[in-house]
Amino acid sequence: MAGKKSEARRPEAGHDTRYIKLRNRFVCRFRLSKRYTGPPGHCHGGIIATILDEAMGKVNKLRQVVALTSEITVSYLKPVPLKQPLRVESREVKVRGRKHVNMAEILNEKGDVLARSQGLFIAIDPHRMFARFVER
């Protein structure tokens, strides 16, 4: 396995997160607590979209690219259960200039894809874009 393994645990935040950095790929294992309830026993769709967006953003970070989400599409394939082992995997699809297209999937323990997304990210120079918000 290429890359460095890193783990973080914060059950007090309502979830248990562990992530693994792989070359140009991001994998995170997690469980969602009842605080993320949408339909009974399952995760709210907005939380699913957030997890997918964050995972795709991590791919940019692995490549040392600062990019903002421009578009994201989410396919909700099956309900995402609470209190069950899950993982999110993301990777780069293509890069053209400042445009980065990434994809992500949430999978259950059996490897079934529960939700899938694709996102367009625009690379920025954060110092230039946010300079007026930084106190000097």
Quickly state the pLDDT bin for 19 (edges 50, 70, 90).
low
Most confident option among 5-14, 22-31, 112-121 = 112-121
Mean pLDDT of 50-69: 95
Reported as a single tens digit per residue, the pLDDT across 94-136 is 999 999 999 999 999 999 999 999 999 999 998 898 888 876 6
Q: Which of 79, 70, 125, 69 is nearest to 106 (CA)?
A: 79
- Pairing between strand 67-76 and 25-32? unpaired
Strand order in the sheet with 25-32: 5-7, 15-22, 25-32, 86-96, 99-108, 113-123, 67-76
What is the three-class DSSP state of 8? coil
Percent of the chain with pLDDT over 70: 82
What pLDDT score was predicted for residue 122? 97
